[in-house]
């Protein structure tokens, strides 16, 4: 299908992008476009103006910042996969990015675009929630930092205000793993599971087990009380609301979550 007509403007700076968003309440940011363009074509999204931020190359980076890493919001999935700092200090991000879509999608899709889209099936959203990442957003009033735990507010909804743009993502150095079950090549996760050791504690996150990425708090609590991976993983679907759709029933997703959490914990 052909998308509805829209105006197009390319921003040369973050401030210009923020100003352009202020011009119109139906304006939207365009990064790599690999969530937005399919949505435009299905007419799920009907913006009046697309503000193209895809040329803001100074937001394509991974930097070391003490015991943390800072990732520019426009860093593409393919860049995350091969980034030496991530591979060394937070390989779970590179590992998850390698499982997104296919090579063509990874050449264009960005970490900021992916998480700002707020898709509950997004792999990177779960990773950021699991790592207790911080998301830096710029708006007309300046910059603010949003904890990942407060960022994902509903399906395709985030804490970003209309005129805010994600600029940077900060993550701790951590050891972790991501397991993703898919039914077909280059599909979204039927269920995804992230496990990471952050500041000596095991964190566990779930993809496609509810309206947003979720933390498996019961699993984390059981592990903190000394439970084995197998015993803790039995709690993986506690307090989740896994959807039933053409990929899987909610019941099957709950089963997958328990199996994948056990496997992820046994890996670490």
By beta-carbon proximity to another protein, the closer residue of 3 and 212 is: 3
Given the rule CB under 8 A, which of 4-12, 154-162, 169-177, 220-228 is the region that contacts another protein? 4-12
Interface mask toward another protein for 69-108; x: CB under 8 A: ---------x----------------------xxxxx-xx
173 is a site residue for another protein (CB under 8 A): no
Span 22-61, contacts to another protein by CB under 8 A? 30, 33-34, 37-38, 40-41, 50, 52, 54
CB of 33 to another protein, least distance (A): 7
Least distance to another protein, CB of residue 141, Å: 29
Which CA distances in Å does 108 have to 85, 219, 252?
21, 35, 32
- CB burial string 140-158: b at 16+ within 10 A, e below: eeeeeebebeebbeeebeb
Looking only at residues 98 through 157 of this chain, which bind another protein when binding is defined by CB under 8 A?
101-105, 107-108
- Closer to another protein by CB, 8 or 225: give it: 8
DSSP SS3 for 222: helix
Q: Which helix (H) or strand (E) holds 207?
A: strand 201-207
Antiparallel, parallel or unpaired: β 201-207 and 49-52: unpaired
* Alpha helices (H) in the chain, listed in sequence order: 14-21, 36-41, 77-82, 84-89, 91-97, 103-108, 111-117, 123-130, 148-151, 217-224, 229-233, 250-267
Residue ranges binding another protein (CB under 8 A): 1-8, 10, 30, 33-34, 37-38, 40-41, 50, 52, 54, 78, 101-105, 107-108, 185-186
């Amino acid at each position: 299908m052909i998308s509805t007509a829209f105006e197009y403007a390319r921003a040369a700076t973050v401030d210009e992008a923020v100003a352009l968003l202020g011009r119109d309440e139906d304006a939207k940011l365009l990064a790599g476009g690999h969530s937005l363009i399919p949505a435009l074509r299905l007419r799920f999204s009907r913006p009046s103006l697309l503000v193209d931020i895809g040329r803001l190359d100074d937001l394509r980076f991974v930097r070391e910042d003490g015991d943390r890493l800072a990732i520019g919001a426009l860093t593409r999935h393919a860049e995350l996969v091969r980034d030496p700092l991530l591979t060394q200090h937070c390989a779970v991000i590179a590992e998850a990015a390698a499982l997104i879509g296919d090579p063509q999608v990874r050449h264009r899709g960005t970490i900021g675009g992916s998480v700002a889209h707020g898709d509950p099936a997004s792999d990177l959203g779960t990773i950021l929630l699991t790592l207790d990442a911080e998301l830096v957003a710029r708006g007309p009033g300046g910059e603010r930092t949003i904890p990942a735990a407060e960022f994902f507010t509903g399906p395709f909804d985030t804490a970003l205000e209309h005129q805010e743009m994600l600029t940077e993502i900060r993550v701790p150095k951590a050891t972790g793993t991501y397991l993703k079950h898919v039914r077909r090549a280059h599909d979204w996760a039927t269920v995804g599971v992230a496990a990471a050791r952050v500041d000596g504690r095991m964190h566990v996150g779930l993809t496609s087990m509810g309206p947003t990425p979720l933390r498996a708090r019961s699993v984390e609590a059981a592990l903190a009380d000394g439970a084995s991976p197998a015993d803790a993983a039995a709690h993986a679907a506690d307090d989740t609301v896994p959807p039933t759709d053409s990929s899987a029933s909610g019941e099957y997703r709950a089963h997958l979550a328990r199996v994948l959490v056990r496997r992820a914990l046994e890996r670490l």
